[in-house]
């Protein structure tokens, strides 16, 4: 959707046009759900986060000034809702990963052994990512998957840019330690 049409829909939705808000939801739902899923790691939880995101967006739409893009504003709300949701869900609850998680594989067709290795690596990465604390996971997802700048991450998570950098460093360190435990031991022995 072009930005002019988005601006028109936002203006109409601010005036109480529910159809305009529904169209905004329709246009942004896939991205919002994808982010929520990557942050919480569960389909049902992601749907709950998305629902809460759009409830908050609807309530706060009149305050949306348009300083940022709608997608940036929704990403921030989604990240905050996911963080709140995960905090409520409990710090020590660990869900098992679903073996049927579909992750897009854009690699050329390889021999079955190599593909199995790639699948194992992907599963280990997803598992390690889901074991990160929500605050660290959010920074990694926003930086390494959505390719946002440290400044944008800081803005979306309402933290300082240096805090975003520190969290990213800590998250990547934990991922490395989890994915390559022997590599970390060898690095310290040298």
How does pLDDT run across 45-88, given as a tens digit for each residue?
999 999 999 999 999 988 888 777 888 889 989 988 988 888 77
Which residues contact residue 26 at a Cβ distance below 8 angstroms, ignoring those fewer than 6 apart?
Answer: none
Residue from 142, 145, 137 nearest 154 by CA: 142
Pick the CATH number of 1-90 from 1.10.10.10, 2.120.10.30, 3.40.50.720, 1.10.1740.10: 1.10.1740.10
Helix (H) / strand (E) element for 104: namely none
Give start-end residues of each CATH 1.10.10.10 domain in the chain.
111-190
Higher-pLDDT residue of 117 and 5 is 5
* pLDDT at position 37 over 50: yes
Q: What's the CA dihedral at 131, 132, 135, 139 to 10 degrees?
A: -120
Beta carbons of 69 and 97 less than 8 angstroms apart = no
The CATH number assigned to the domain with range 111-190 reads 1.10.10.10
Beta carbons of 8 and 24 less than 8 angstroms apart = no
Higher-pLDDT residue of 22 and 123 is 22
Which residues contact residue 164 at a Cβ distance below 8 angstroms, ignoring those fewer than 6 apart?
Answer: 139, 143, 150, 153, 154, 157
Q: How confident is the model at residue 102 (pLDDT cuts 50, 70, 90)?
A: low
Of 3-7, 11-15, 96-100, which range is least confident? 96-100
**pTM score:** 0.65
* Helices (runs of H) and strands (runs of E) counted in the chain: 9, 0
Give start-end residues of each CATH 1.10.1740.10 domain in the chain.
1-90
Q: What tens digit of pLDDT does each residue of 130-182 get?
A: 888 989 998 998 898 888 889 988 888 889 999 999 999 999 999 888 888 87
């Amino acid at each position: 959707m072009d930005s002019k049409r988005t601006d028109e829909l936002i203006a109409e939705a601010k005036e109480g046009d529910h159809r305009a808000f529904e169209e905004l939801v329709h246009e942004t739902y896939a991205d919002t759900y994808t982010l929520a899923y990557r942050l919480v790691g569960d389909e049902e939880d992601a749907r709950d986060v998305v629902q809460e995101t759009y409830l908050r967006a609807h309530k706060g739409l009149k305050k949306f000034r348009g300083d940022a893009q709608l997608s940036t504003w929704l990403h921030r709300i989604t990240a905050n809702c996911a963080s709140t949701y995960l905090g409520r869900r409990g710090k020590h609850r660990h869900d098992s990963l679903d073996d049927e998680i579909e992750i897009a594989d854009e690699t050329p067709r390889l021999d079955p052994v190599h593909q199995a290795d790639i699948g194992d690596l992907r599963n280990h990465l997803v598992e390690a990512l889901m074991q990160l604390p929500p605050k660290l996971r959010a920074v990694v997802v926003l930086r390494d998957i959505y390719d946002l700048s440290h400044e944008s991450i800081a803005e979306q998570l309402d933290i300082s840019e240096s805090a975003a950098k520190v969290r990213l460093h800590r998250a990547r360190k934990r991922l490395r330690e989890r994915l390559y435990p022997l590599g970390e031991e060898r690095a310290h022995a040298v």
